[in-house]
A = this chain, B = another copy of it.
Amino acid sequence: MNKKVILASTSTLYNGGYLEYLLPVLSKHFENCQTLLFIPYARPGGITHDEYTSKVRQAFAKINIEVKGIHEFESPVLAIQEAQAIFTGGGNTFLLVSQLYHYHLIGILKETILGGTPYLGTSAGSNIGGMTMNTTNDMPIVLPESFTTLGLIPFNLNPHYLDPIEGSTHMGETRETRINEFHTISDIPVLGLREGSWLEVYGDNIILRGQLTARLFRQKDLPVEMAPSENLNFLQ
C-alpha cells in the first residue's frame, strides 16, 4: 500500500505557533502538493469552519501550499477524491466523527488515503486514524453513529497523553486507568502519544517520531515505553 500518513499528538507546542514544530516535516510530507483539503469538522472551541480553515491557511502559506476547507465544496466526496493532500485538524472527536458519518465520508476518506493521497491528522484528526475513537480524551458533546474510524494503523491512539501527576489528591481516573478500563472490554492496542510526538506511516512502516517516548498499552500486558525512531510494525 502507498499510505503516506502523519498522525500527530498535537498541532501546537507550548509557546509555539500553530503547526510550527511540524512545518519542516510537512514540507517534505506534502512535497509536490500545491493544494490541500482541510477538514475543519472538529471545531476546537466551537469556532466556525471558515475561521478554522483560515487559521490553517495561514500556517500552510509558509510552505507554499494553498488550503481549501471541505465545507467550501458542493460535494465533499469529490473534494476528498480529487484532493492532492488532506489534513484533519483537532477539536472535538465526537463532533468530527459525527460529521464524517453524517456526510458518508468515512469509507471514501479511508479509501483515498490508502490509495496514496498524503494525509495529516493532529489530535482529533489523529484519533480517527486509529481503529476506533474509543480512546479519545474529548467530551461526548454529540453522539456519533459509530465509534469505528479509519483504521490507517492497526491500533488506537491516545493523543495529548498525560502521565499521572505525582502526589495528586484528585480522585478522578488517570489516563492510564482509563486506557486499562478500555482493555477490560477490547484487545485493540493503544499508543499514548505525548505532545511533540507523531507517527509516520509510510507504506507498511509505522515509525515513532519526535523527541519523546510513547507509551504502548496492550490488553493483558504491562505498558512499555517506545523510543523515538522505533517502529511499531510488530503490531500489524
Give residues in A with beta carbon < 8 Å to B: 10, 12-15, 43-46, 91-92, 94-95, 133-144, 146-147, 160, 162, 169-173, 177-186, 195
Contact B139 A147 (CB under 8 A): no
A13-B171, A44-B173, A134-B141 known; 20 other A-B pairs, CB under 8 Å? A14-B170, A43-B184, A45-B180, A45-B181, A45-B184, A46-B183, A46-B185, A92-B181, A94-B140, A95-B185, A136-B139, A137-B172, A138-B173, A140-B140, A141-B186, A142-B185, A143-B144, A160-B170, A160-B172, A170-B195
Distance between Cα atoms of A138 and B136 in the complex (Å): 10
A171 to B160 Cα, complex, angstroms: 7
- Of the A-B pairs whose beta carbons lie under 8 Å apart in the complex, a sample of 7, sorted by A's number, is A10-B171, A46-B184, A95-B181, A137-B172, A141-B181, A143-B144, A143-B147
B10 and A141 within 8 A (CB): no
Nearest Cβ on chain B to A100's Cβ, whole angstroms: 15
Determine the distance from Cα of A170 to Cα of B13 in the docked complex, in whole angstroms: 8
Give Cα A183 to B14, complex, Å: 26
State the CA gap A95–B199 with chains docked (Å).
Answer: 30
- Which chain B positions have C-beta within 8 A of A43? 181, 184
- CB-based contact B185/A171 at 8 Å: no
For A178, give its contact among B135, B138, B181 (CB under 8 Å).
Answer: B138
| A136 / chain B contacts, CB cutoff of 8 Å | 139-140
Q: How far is the CA of A182 from the CA of B140 in the complex (A)?
A: 8
Q: Which of A15, A134, A135, A140 has the most CB of B within 10 A?
A: A140
In the assembled complex, which residues on chain B have CB atoms less than 8 Å from the CB atom of A170? 14, 160, 162, 195
Residues of B within 8 A of A141 (CB): 134, 181-182, 184-186
Q: In the assembly, what is the distance between CA of A172 and CA of B194, in Å?
A: 10
Interface core residue of A14, A143, A144, A186 (most chain B CB under 10 Å): A143
CA distance A170 to B180 in the complex (A): 22
Chain B residue contacts of A95, Cβ below 8 A: 181, 185
Using Cβ atoms and an 8 Å threshold, which residues of chain B touch A138?
A: 173, 178
Q: Across the interface, do A139 and B143 meet the contact criterion of CB distance under 8 Å?
A: no
Assembled-state Cα–Cα distance A140/B95 (Å): 13
Asked if A14 and B139 sit within 8 Å, CB to CB, the answer is no
